[in-house]
């Protein structure tokens, strides 16, 4: 098949929407899957996307929006008339509603909330209050709750209605007090096998729950210890607010990891795709790159202090970037380990001294090995053992500095409430470059007579 006749999903989507063929459009979306559909929509203009989303039924549009990142779902929905947007958001799960609305401009979100039913709007506003890295921001409010005086038959009727209306969602049954306080949970197997006339109080089991203010790391640790599909989410007064599903936590952890990776590479905000506005993408990248210009100038200023040494031994210029880059790699390894241990809760921000001692051991061994290797390389290349001694000592010492900083900087930044994923890299790079240049040139100055006579 040639490029000119190759099937392009966005062309087909546009064709069905322009023809008003809703069923064909929905069937085609299901056939290509959410990932391909998302890619296709990004290739279309805002007006064409609006036509497609308004041609879909609100339920189908909502199902699609739940499968793509919430920030991009928010961009798509913001382009729609408020009434159409409200119809779609009303069909989404409560947690997805909150995520999408939170990623919108306040004015746009309020316009959509005004079009929703008062009950749905109030529920969405309540969920928006919570950060998306807390249990409250990840929980869903779709669950079954009954008073302990209810009968098994009441719960079975509610369960039957749930399955009819939400066939794709697992049901979770809880028992609450008249004030809404969580009393316990009901195992579905016990519910189905119990006599219909039996009060729920006879089959209640303790329900595992988490605070609405639990963070991702605490939640991850809890789910690791207890293999549960979901847990109840309660407030400070034990009032049942919602449930947190393992799948939602897993997705949140993956999103955080993706954002941290982008931040560590200099993408401010931790999110970018090429369909974003050009100025937004440029601004996010330049804010990092501009800072790096300043930091690199500071690091390079060390060289100016040793111009005579460098001009006398030109070979040093070859080893300056090697020493700084190798040390930077060692430091980045230490940063990665500290970031991982912080996310897993293995280490706390106040344990910087313990982490430093552990990294020093690794730094001494690796620094010695790397120093010997580069010293041998310098000796073979120039035949001057003193050049090998200079660069070997410099790399060994700078490796020790790099791992010490790399291991402790994320912890110190965490204590200062600064995002380690954003700030660790620039700090580490600047210091290791400065130290690397200083060590090579200062040690070379000491051995300058030997370096220039051989």
Residue 373's pLDDT is what?
A: 95
Topology alike, domains 144-246 and 278-453: no
Q: What is the mean pLDDT of each run of 10 residues along the chain (454 residues)?
A: 56 85 87 86 86 90 88 88 92 88 88 90 88 88 88 89 75 88 89 89 90 90 85 92 90 82 67 67 75 80 86 90 91 89 82 92 95 93 91 95 93 86 82 91 91 75
Q: How far apart are CA 253 and CA 249, in angstroms?
A: 6
What are φ and ψ of residue 146, in 5° steps?
Answer: -135, 155
CB 260 within 8 A of CB 157: no
Q: How far apart are CA 215 and CA 78, in angstroms?
A: 29
Q: How far apart are CA 367 and CA 405, in angstroms?
A: 14
Distances (CA, A) of 289 to 129, 292, 299: 34, 5, 15
Q: How far apart are CA 414 and CA 408, in angstroms?
A: 10
The distance from CA 204 to its chain's CA centroid, rounded to whole angstroms, is 37
- In terms of phi and psi (left: phi > 0; alpha: psi -120 to 50; beta: otherwise), the region of 238 is left
Structure tokens at 12: 């087909």
Beta strands in 222-361 (DSSP E): 230-234, 240-245
CB 198 within 8 A of CB 151: yes
For domain 144-246, is the CATH number 3.10.580.10?
yes
Q: How far apart are CA 400 and CA 368, in angstroms?
A: 9
Distances (CA, A) of 152 to 39, 158, 171, 262, 329: 47, 10, 15, 51, 62
Domain layout of the chain by residue ranges: 8-129, 144-246, 278-453
Residue 451's pLDDT is what?
A: 84
- In terms of phi and psi (left: phi > 0; alpha: psi -120 to 50; beta: otherwise), the region of 20 is left
CB 184 within 8 A of CB 146: no
Q: In CATH, which superfamily holds the domain spanning 278-453? A: SLC41 divalent cation transporters, integral membrane domain (1.10.357.20)
Q: In CATH, which superfamily holds the domain spanning 8-129? A: MgtE N-terminal domain-like (1.25.60.10)
Structure tokens at 282: 């440029």
Distances (CA, A) of 405 to 343, 367, 400, 429: 18, 14, 9, 10
């Amino acid at each position: 098949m040639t490029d000119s006749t190759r099937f392009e999903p966005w062309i087909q989507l546009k064709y069905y929407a322009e023809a008003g063929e809703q069923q064909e459009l929905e069937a085609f979306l299901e056939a290509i899957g959410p990932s391909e559909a998302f890619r296709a929509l990004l290739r279309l203009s805002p007006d064409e996307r609006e036509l497609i989303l308004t041609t879909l039924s609100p339920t189908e549009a909502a199902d699609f929006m739940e499968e793509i990142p919430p920030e991009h779902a928010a961009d798509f929905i913001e382009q729609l008339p408020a009434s159409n947007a409200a119809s779609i958001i009303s069909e989404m799960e409560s947690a997805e509603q909150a995520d999408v609305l939170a990623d919108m401009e306040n004015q746009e979100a309020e316009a959509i909330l005004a079009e929703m039913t008062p009950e749905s709007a109030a529920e969405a506003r309540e969920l928006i209050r919570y950060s998306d890295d807390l249990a409250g921001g990840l929980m869903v409010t779709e669950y079954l709750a009954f008073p302990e005086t209810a009968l098994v038959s009441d719960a079975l009727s509610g369960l039957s209605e749930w399955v009819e209306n939400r066939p794709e969602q697992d049901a979770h049954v809880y028992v609450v007090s008249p004030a809404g306080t969580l009393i316990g949970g009901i195992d579905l197997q016990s519910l189905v096998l119990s006599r219909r006339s039996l009060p729920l109080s006879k089959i209640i089991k303790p329900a595992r729950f988490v605070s609405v203010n639990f963070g991702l790391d605490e939640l991850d640790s809890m789910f690791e210890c207890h293999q549960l599909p979901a847990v109840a989410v309660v407030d400070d007064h034990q009032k049942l607010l919602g449930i947190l599903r393992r799948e939602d936590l897993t997705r949140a952890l993956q999103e955080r990891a993706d954002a941290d990776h982008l931040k560590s590479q200099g993408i401010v905000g931790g999110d970018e795709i090429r369909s974003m506005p050009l100025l937004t993408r440029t601004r996010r990248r330049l804010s990092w790159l501009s800072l790096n210009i300043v930091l690199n100038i500071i690091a390079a200023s060390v060289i100016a202090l040793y111009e005579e040494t460098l001009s006398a031994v030109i070979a040093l210029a070859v080893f300056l970037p090697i020493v700084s880059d190798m040390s930077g790699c060692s430091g980045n390894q230490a940063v990665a380990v500290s970031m991982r241990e912080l996310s897993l809760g293995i280490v706390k921000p106040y344990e910087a001294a313990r982490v430093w001692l552990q990294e020093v051991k690794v730094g001494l061994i690796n620094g010695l090995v790397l120093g010997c290797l580069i010293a041998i390389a310098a000796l073979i290349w120039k035949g001057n053992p003193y050049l090998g001694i200079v660069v070997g000592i410099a790399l060994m010492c700078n490796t020790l500095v790099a791992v010490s900083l790399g291991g402790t900087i994320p912890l110190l930044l965490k204590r200062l409430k600064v995002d380690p994923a954003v700030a660790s890299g620039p700090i580490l790079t600047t210091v290791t470059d400065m130290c690397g240049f200083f060590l090579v040139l200062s040690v070379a100055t000491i051995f300058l007579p030997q370096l220039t006579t051989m």
